[in-house]
Structures are given as C-alpha cells and as structure tokens.
Amino acid sequence: MKPRSKREENGRAYDDAPIGLALVSAEGRFLQVNPKLCALLGYTRQQLLHTTLGAVTDPRDKQLMELNSRRLVAGEIDEFQLEPHFLRADGRQALGRFSAKVTNGDGNRSLSCVVEIDEPGERGATRAEGFVNELDAVLDEFLDGVIATDEIGRIVSFNQAAQRLFGYESGAVLGREASLLIAGPSQEEFTTYLAAWATPDRETVPPSGSRELWARRKDGSNFPIELRVTRMVLGGESCLVAILRDISEQRAQTEALEYKTLHDALTSLPNRTLLNDRLNQAILTGSRQRKMAAVLIMDVNDFKEVNDTHGHYVGDRLLQQIAIRLEGLLRSSDTVARLGGDEFAILPGLGMGGEDGATTAQKVLRVLEQPFSIDGQALRITASIGIALFPMHGRDAASLLRHADEAMYVAKRARSGFALYAPQQDGGRPGDRLLAGELRHAITHDQMVLHFQPTIDLHLGKTIGVEALVRWQHPERGLMPPRSFIPAAEEMGLIKPLTQWVINRALKQSRTWAGAGLDIDVAVNLSSRSLLDSDLPGMTRKLLKIWGLHPARLMVDIPESSVVAAPMIKTATQLGAMGIGLAVDDFGAGVSSLEHLSRLPVRELKIDASRIAAMPDHGGDSAIRPIVDLGHRMGLKMVAKGVEDQDTLDRLPGLGCDSAQGFHICPPLVASDLAPWLRQSAWGLAEQNPHRDMP
C-alpha cells in the first residue's frame, strides 16, 4: 500500500478532529469545513460551503464577530475568541465557543477557526481527557513550530514542525518547562511575555503581537525565532499556544542589507551614513564630557588623471589600497570612511585638538607617499586634507563636515598637504555671495519656474503623479538647474523662502489642473535645511488651506541623508501626520539605515537614479532587487528614477518596482506643455491613483 503523504495525513487529521474546524475567507464565507462542524450545526458540507459564518450566528453576535474578523485580517489583532449563539439548521440556538486566527495561503488571507458547541453529556471528564488529542490534531497542521503550554508554562503539546525545529521528540519535552527551548539571554523576556498571556487580566498583555528571541536546540546551538503567543480554549481547557518561526535566514538577509547600507561597496569602509552617525555620537559624548573632537576630509589630488591614463579598473584598485593603508594607520576606535569618488573622511577618537589633528594628517600624508603597486605598475599620489574641530568650527555634523571640506579645498589650492579650518575661509567658493544676492531678488520677482516630470504606475502603464522641479530663469545665465543655486540658497539662509515659493506654486498648479479636470498629485523636493525649519509644517498646512487641497494631494521627497537627524525626523513626521505623503529620495545611495527609516511614516522609496542607470551595462538587477525587496518588506512603494531607455523600463516590473520616472517616459515639462501630454500620451493620466491613501 502506498504510504500517505504529509498532506493526506493533515487532511485526515482535519476531518477526524473531534471539534468543529473551518477555514473562512476574509469576507466570512466558508471555504472548508470538517464533518464535526457539520454535525454540530446540522448542515451538510455543501450547505455550509454555500453560506457565510454570519448566517449561522445569532444577529447579536454577528456584528462583533465580523468586526473582529476584519481587525484580524487587517493585522490589528493577533487572534480572538468569542462565546456566540450559533443557529442550527433545525432553528434552535446553541451557546458555543469560537476561536480564530489568520491563515495565509496562495497569497490570500483567511481565518482558521475552531468551533465548539455545548451538547448534553459532552462536558466534564470525557472532553478533558481528549483535550491533548484534540490540540495535537489541530497543531500538527501548522508548518510553523507550535507548542502549547498550560497556564504555568509546562508543555502539553509539541507539533511535528517544532520537533524538527528543536531536535526533540515530543515525548522528551511534554510536561517540562517551555523555557527549556529558550536561550539563556532571552529566558527572562520569554517568561515575562508568557506570564502576561497567562494573566486573566488581558490588559496586561503587551500590545506588540510578537517577539524576536533566541531559541536553543537540543544540540545546544542557538538560533533566532519570531514568537507569537495566543490564548485558546479547547475541550473546555485553557492553554497558551506559541507559534515559533525560525528567522535565521531573514535576519541574515537583514544584516547583509544593513551592512550594504552602511558600508562602501568598493572599499568596505563605512560610508557617509555610518560616518554621520558616529560623528553625531562623538558630538553628543564630547558635549557631555567637555572634550574636543576632530574630523578630517581627504581628497586624492589629480585622481581623474589616474582614471584617464590607466583606466577605471586601476583607479578602483588604487582606492582599495588607499583604504587598506588608512585602516592600518589608525586605531580601532577611529573611523575611516569613503564619502564617494576619491574622497575619504577620518574621525579620530575624542580629545583631539588642532595639533593632534595636524599630527594625524601628517601621518596620513606620509603613509600615502609610498608608491602603490597595481598589476606591476608603480603609482605615486598626493592628497589634500582639511580639518575641522568641535566645538570651535561647528556644533553639528553638517557644519563640521562642510568646514572640513572647505579647509581641504584651501589645502588643495595651496598644495600645503593639509589645512585647519579658519572662519575667514567662509565664502571661498567664487560667486556664491553674489549669486545669493541675485537669488533673493529672483524669488521675490518671479524669476523661478517649475517644471513637472510624470511618474507612471508600472502595472497600469499610466501617470499617477508629477514631481515639481524648480529652475531659475536667470536674466543673463539662462535656465539654471537646482545644483547651480541650491547650495548658495542653503549657505546664505534663502532655503526657507525658496521652499515656500516652490510649495505654494506647486499647490496652485495642482488646483489649476483640478479645475481643468486633471486629477493629479504633485510632489516637491525638500532639502535637509528645509527639514530643520520648525515652521515648515505650519506653513504647508496654511498653503493647503489657501488652495483648498487635501493633504493627500501633496507628496514631499526628503533626502536620504535627512533621516538620520532627530530634528529633521521630527519635521518630516509632522508633515506625515497631516496626511502628506512622504518619500525618501535617491534611496540606495548609502545614507540611511533600517532603524532610521522605521522612525518615519514613509510611503515610498525612490531608488537612486545612478543605480537605475547602471542596470543595462553593469548587470544592475542584482543591485536593485535587494533594495526593492527591502522596501516591500517595510510595506513601501518602490519608485525607479532615471529611466532612460525601454530595456530598463521593461525590466523594472520583474524586479518588483511599482512605478518609474525618467526622460524615456517624459522629460520635465512646463505646466502648459504637461497638460497636452497627459491627454495625448499612452502613459496619460490614470483614472484612479492606486498609490493614494486618501482622496
């Protein structure tokens, strides 16, 4: 005889269970029922499969059951139990017990239900004796490890998946404390968590539905698990059921993504994110301990000539060898980071003054004097280093890095090797102050203009929104892109009036389009300096009211670098709380971490255009997919920026991207040109925006 498969065994256990079992759709329709449930309710299987849970429940209980079912499917609660009055086929009512939890299968969410109905003679010893058997029949159907304990934490059931997970046979653990399965560092948290569920007062149960703990196998090895506990009543007995999932692979993937986010891919050095975090920590510690701190910015002189003469391969190898020398020179407590290109940063330990910074710079220059050997070629380089000190040259990371960068350019121009920042260096970039004066005039005299670039939904193939991009129509220099004047605006305190102008003009245009029958959302870009403005949320709320627009019509794109500073996070959170959509711009450039992103009510991540541009020539799918998977695990929409050709556009849906933007779809257009494009293009306006949460 052919042995039964696991699926057949599970099915038989389901049908033979001495309690009523059902699988119910998210809408309340019966999908599967066992013979016991049919007997309890007096219906045939076909009759139940053509009706709903609400139809066999007293109307007084139906509303509560439907409400809890919706909350369970939506993820607001973990499980629920009721004692409803069931309506039998013969018209009689019967008081029973009902327990439900979420089941995921084939991409759909449904409810796995246990039904008990009081019947004469079934209470008491007989049902108590069958309790463990009933429980085992139910729990062995789970693919996750499931254990059940009595109210004091002793194991009464241990399903087959748990046996495989921990390496114990069921008989070896029954009756023993469940903490046997938990690694030492997590035992106290596990015991407290389990005790909270065992407490009759359900208000003491922690609001978080799950815990991540370290478990221990029979062989003594530890592994991470996700633990979720629920309370069930089966056979008249109360028990605690813990669902345990091995998350080793998930955690390894998360840690790998975290590492990629915080480290430079070429040199494996910390990137700008990690440098910012450590610099901020140094500033906080220095403030408390009244100690100085130094930051050094280093740039390789004439590095472009290395690439032009020997090729990018040699240039990359040179950067890797520079990184190795810098790491070998400094202490383990120091941070060496690559900021991009041929630019590095060094953050020595606390207590470094100007002389100490100069000594470190001299050591770096000396170690770089020795020739580099790459594929038999001897290369010699020089470098320029700028030094800034906390608190004399700045009390925040942005100021210190900017001033170290300015000092580095002073050293480069003077060919002095290194330079310490001096306040008189401010304004050293030619023309910045003159440009700022002209910009102030331009903002108040309507010389700024907005161009709009559409974003399309990749599944609909239609436009779901536009991004507003500011330009300066300079009377002498012509149309200037943002990179030509935004730095001057930030440096000279003009970013606030410029931001207000952009938001006001974008909302005005959105109202104009709405009046013309074009229902379209608009996104604006905010700089890090804008997010430091505590007046920004109030100003934005006032402008939305002036133009009569719902906040959901506005999306703000915030730079990835802004999600690491508390004041910026606070401003962004306030905008999100108003109903304005938040998107992290240029995600994947290496300036944020999962911890920082989790602090914000972000809706979208916009993948850095350089990563999208690299797809056709450098097999960029492998670089894009982890970013998309990360965003989706966080429940976010993923937008691909910088789409320049049809091949890239065709590959994006397969990588999981939700929407896209780029010159291949449509270049930035003035408002008067965009309206005809929206009406005539195959990528024209979608009838309904699937990305908008509110009307």
Q: Which domains does the chain have, with CATH numbers?
A: 1-119 (3.30.450.20), 265-425 (3.30.70.270), 432-680 (3.20.20.450)
Q: Is the pLDDT of residue 294 over 80?
A: yes
Mean pLDDT of 507-521: 91
Summarize pLDDT for 242-266 with one digit per residue, the tens: 888 888 887 787 777 777 778 888 8
Report, as an integer, the average pLDDT of 151-173.
84
Separation of first and last alpha carbons in the chain: 62
Burial 74-106 (b: 16+ CB within 10 A, else e): eeebbbbeeebebbeeeeeebebbbbbbbbeee
7 or 319: which leads in pLDDT: 319
Q: What is the pLDDT of residue 91?
A: 77
- For 137-165, what is the mean pLDDT? 76
Q: What is the pLDDT of residue 156?
A: 81
Contact 462, 685 (CB under 8 A): yes
Pick the range with the lowest mean pLDDT from 325-329, 477-481, 678-682. Answer: 477-481
Which has the closest alpha carbon to 431: 495, 501, 491? 491
> How high is the pLDDT of residue 320?
92
As a whole number, mean pLDDT of residues 190-207 equals 60
* Alpha carbons 640 and 656: distance in angstroms, whole number: 10
- Look at 458 and 207; give whichever has higher pLDDT: 458
The pLDDT of residue 351 is above 80: no
Residue-level pLDDT at 537: 93
What average pLDDT does this structure show over 390-417? Answer: 84
Q: What is the pLDDT of residue 433?
A: 52
Residue-level pLDDT at 457: 93
Q: What are phi and psi of 416, to 5 degrees?
A: -95, 0
How confident is the model at residue 638, as a pLDDT?
Answer: 92
More confident residue, 60 or 162: 162
Largest CA distance in the chain: 98
DSSP secondary structure of 48-96: HHTSBGGGGB-HHHHHHHHHHHHHHHTTS-SEEEE-PEEE-TTS-EEEE
H helix count then E strand count, the chain: 27, 27
Q: pLDDT tens-digit profile of 14-49?
A: 677 677 788 887 778 888 888 888 888 889 988 888
Q: What is the pLDDT of residues 451-497, one digit of tens each?
A: 999 999 999 999 999 999 999 988 888 888 887 788 777 666 788 89
Given a cut of 50, whether residue 205 has pLDDT beyond it is no
Residue predicted with more confidence, 128 or 495? 495
Q: b/e per residue, 554-581, with b = 16+ CB within 10 A?
A: bbbbbbbbbbbbeebbebbebbbeeebb
Report the percent of the chain where pLDDT is more than 70.
81
Q: What does the mean pLDDT of the chain come to?
A: 80
Confidence of residue 107 (pLDDT cuts 50, 70, 90): low
pLDDT of residue 436: 66
Check residue 522 and give its pLDDT: 95
Under the banding of pLDDT at 50, 70 and 90, the label for residue 428 is very low
High-pLDDT (> 90) share of the chain, %: 18
User: Which pLDDT belongs to residue 24?
Assistant: 80
Among 31-40, 248-257, 330-339, 658-667, where is mean pLDDT lowest?
A: 248-257
Burial class of residue 664 in the structure, from the number of CB atoms within 10 Å of its CB (0-12 exposed, 13-18 middle, 19+ buried): middle
Q: Looking at the predicted structure, is the pLDDT value of residue 547 above 90? A: yes
Highest mean pLDDT among 147-156, 583-592, 669-678: 669-678
For the CA atoms of 650, 655, 661, 665, the dihedral, rounded to the nearest 10 degrees, stands at 0
- Residue 493: per-residue pLDDT: 72
70 vs 694, more confident: 70
Q: Which of 141-150, 176-185, 357-366, 372-381 has the lowest mean pLDDT?
A: 141-150
Query: What is the DSSP annotation of 236-256?
Result: TEEEEEEEEEE-HHHHHHHHH
Question: How open is the CA angle 346-348-353, to the nearest 5 degrees?
Answer: 115
Model confidence at 203, in pLDDT bands (50, 70, 90)?
very low
